[in-house]
Structure 1
Amino acid sequence: TIYPESETGPHQVVVPAAEISGGFATAAVTENELATRLLSMASSEFDVTTSVPVRAALFETADNEHVLAVMLHHICADGSSIAPLARDLTAAYTARTGGHTPSWPPLTVQYADYTLWQREILGSDDDPDSLLAQQLTYWRSTLDGLPEQLELPGNRTPPAVTHRGRTHTFTIDAPTHRAAAELARQHTATVFMVLHTAFAIFLARMSGTGDITIGTPVAGRGDPALDDLVGMFVNTLALRTPVDGASSFTQLLTTVRETDLAAFEHADVPFERVVQALNPTRSTTRHPLFQVMLVFQNQEHPKLELAGLTARVEDIDHTATQFDLTLVVSERVDRDGAAQGLTAALTYTQDLFDEDTVRGFADRFTR
């Protein structure tokens, strides 16, 4: 699908598969060249008005070693889409190596069904009784008077546009992970809520303010029928948390739990509609409503089981970021689901922070 502009705005045009060209490339490269080629591919832009939002390339590094790179625009897929995409790729490879055309069981619903459901459920903001109007009222009230910028101790004045990113990775040990899970259980909360509380306290100390707003993505796949769909379902929430320095951690956890539950209950309205309704001052130096993101990775990990091949999935750091600071945390658990530690990554805007500053952020947060 492409999305050309028109007088009334962009619209979708479904392109027949036979007419798609240039979406797949092959090349023989050396190991030293591979990283550069992957980074170049990941850093290239999509023009969705004229080209489909999917690209792939197969790089041959040896006679028996290949790297398949797949690049997806967010308009057509989210993080939870990678697992069903990997399953479809496995089915296709199995069929092709057996000399057959791939065949997949038909899905019970399509992405178009989801869009129609969403439109029907949300209703119109002209109707005060509609779900859309009610949720917009909640967000207007919750985010009223929101500070335009969260000032963190950085090293530079932000330029007009900040997209150059870099990632610093670190770990949180198993005992701390288990303690966080137990604390969550005792307070009818989740590990995400414990992390949100800790991150809010950290940001309050770093910024010197008690009005902290953190963005977070939500999967948006409320119906099991959507689990096998590749598409853009994820939504973004702005979690505004008052941090009182006189409160204990558990007192703030109670506040965070209430904040998060209320936000999740009002997560149907798209984030862009919230921004439109609040109409904050726009600036190319910052993201609207919040500049810091917290991501808790708990979706299904993609698995590639290709007959005759040893395969693994690897992400790459394409050195781009939408936010001043993004904390991504993934749980490590054993087969019984016991906590084995947390893997964390701080992605930061290089135009604002240097590596030593962010390493200090990570050290303070883990303490």
Structure 2
Amino acid sequence: MTASVHTAPLSFHQRRLWFLARAEPGPAYNIPVVLRLRGHLDVAALRAALADVVHRHEVLRTAYPEADGEPRQRILPPGEAPLTVSASTGTAEVLDAAARHVFDLTAGPPIRATVWTQPGGDEHVLLVLIHHIACDGWSLAPLTRDLAAAYRARVAGGAPSFPELPVQYADFAEWQRDVLGTADDPDSLLARQLGYWHSALADLPEEAGFPADRPPPFHSGAEGASVPVRLGPRAHQGLLDLAARSGTTLFMAVHAALAALLTRMGGGTDLPLGTVVAGRSDEALDDLVGFFVNTLVLRTDTSG
């Protein structure tokens, strides 16, 4: 007997990412999880452990086909979700190529893995690639924890004994839709929240005014970089003292400092700064792999 395929609506988080992925196909929304492994690696046990994790978290075996212009979550039974696990002993460039894989979200699943073994056989790199529609930063802790537990069990010749998850991601998506309602219902929570944000972000400047070292590109690309900013113990303690004196948090103190700096650099006095929130308002979601993270706009007025 073949297991049935379960369907569910996309969460609002997934809906916007699904739209972006369809508008600009590419690797921009890939999340690479890279683990360096030393010693003997049982590749067969690793394949089985990855399958165990995909079995445990439904969102990792979900496709996102479109029907009548509307995307749906199509949750595949564990045995019908093809998981690609490739092994290579070539150059490390194979990992770069693997990280740039473009997922077909309509077919699923949104996860694949590559094992690269260095010459000599005792140094390995495991790259687990997941599309952002199924994962976020918080998810990496339960993902790697479950994978490690499953690998230990498979190496020992058994199967992992996971505690049952209280909910799956599709349950969250259904709950979110029920709570928020629809935008065309003026009495719904979604309509009220959209009204709030339309008001809060009305008449924002089109562009930041501070000088840049190059013009922005006409089309966005997948290339990027990070610029680390390190604060020593003295600056850190000074910020803590400032936050305590002003009755605020460390986050609020750093946010205010950044806003003041951007104004001083010529960015104006009306500054929209983005910040990330985990989006997991219930402890039942803590151990679940899924896309919950959200970005909030903090509109900061430095004119005073």
Bucket of the pairwise TM-score, normalised by the shorter protein: 0.7 to 0.9
* Alignment of structure 1 residues 326-337 onto 2, 5 Å: none
List, as ranges, runs of 4+ consecutive aligned residues in structure 1 with deviation greater than 6 Å: none
Which residue matches 1:203? Answer: 262
**2:87 aligned with 1:26, yes or no?**
yes
- TM-score w.r.t. the length of structure 1 is 0.62
Same amino acid, percent of matched pairs: 46
Specify the code of the residue in structure 1 equivalent to 2:276. P
Counterpart AA for 1:153: P
Q: 2:77 aligns with which of 16, 31, 34?
A: 16
Cα pair distance change 1:116/1:185, threshold 3 Å? farther
- 184-193 or 138-147, larger mean C-alpha shift: 184-193
State whether residues 88 and 94 of structure 2, in contact with CA within 8 Å, keep that contact through their aligned partners in structure 1.
no
Mapped to 2, the partners of 1:185 and 1:159 lie a distance apart of: 42
Q: Which amino acid aligns with 1:100?
A: G
Q: Distance in 1 between matches of 2:210 and 2:112?
A: 37
2:14 maps to which residue?
A: none
Q: Which residues of 2 match residues 299-310 of structure 1 at below 5 A?
A: none
1:187-266 matched pairs, under 5 angstroms: 187-244=246-303, 247=304
Distance of 1:13 and 1:120 partners within structure 2: 19
Matching residue of 1:58: 115
The unaligned stretches of length 5 or more in structure 2 are 1-61
Q: Secondary structure at the match of 2:67?
A: coil
Aligned counterpart, 1:185: 244
Which of 234, 246, 259 pairs up with 1:175?
234
Structure 1 equivalent of residue 142 of structure 2: 84
Query: Counterpart of 2:262 in structure 1: which amino acid?
Result: L
Task: Give the AA of the match of 1:19.
Answer: E
Measure how far apart 1:113 and its partner are: 2.0
Alignment of 1:94-173 (within 5 A): 94-163=152-221, 164-173=223-232
Count of residues in Structure 1 that have an aligned counterpart in Structure 2: 241
Q: Secondary structure at the match of 2:170?
A: helix
Corresponding residue SS for 2:71:
coil
> For 2:74, what is the secondary structure of its paired residue?
coil
The equivalent of 2:16 in structure 1 is: none
Partner residue in 2 for 1:287: none
Q: Which residue of 2 aligns with 1:38?
A: 95
Distance 1:208 1:80, change over 3 A: closer
Structure 2 residue 74 is the aligned partner of structure 1 residue 6: no
Cα distance change on mapping 1:83 and 1:37 into 2, 3 Å: same
Query: Equivalents in 1 of 2:183, 2:191: separation in Å?
Result: 5
Note if contact 2:66-2:72 (Cα within 8 Å) is conserved in structure 1: yes
Structure 1: gaps spanning 5 or more residues: 248-367
- C-alpha distance in 1 between matches for 2:100 and 2:265: 31
Q: 1:104 to 1:240 in 2, by over 3 A?
A: same
Please give the alpha-carbon distance, in whole angstroms, between the structure 2 residues aligned to 1:181 and 1:79. 26
Higher mean C-alpha deviation, range 119-128 or range 164-173? 119-128
| Alpha-carbon shift at residue 22 of structure 1 (Å) | 5.7
TM-score, normalised to structure 2, is 0.74
- How much does 1:88 deviate? 0.3
Question: Which has a greater percent of helix?
Answer: 2
Return closer, same or farther for 1:201/1:12 CA change in 2, 3 Å cut-off.
same
Residue 32 of structure 2: aligned partner: none
Q: Structure 2: how far apart are the matches of 1:170 and 1:145?
A: 31
Partner Cα distance (1:74, 1:133) in 2: 26
Instruction: Give the letter aligned to residue 279 of structure 2.
Output: G
* Shift of residue 98, structure 1, vs aligned partner: 0.9
Q: Distance in 2 between matches of 1:148 and 1:219?
A: 27
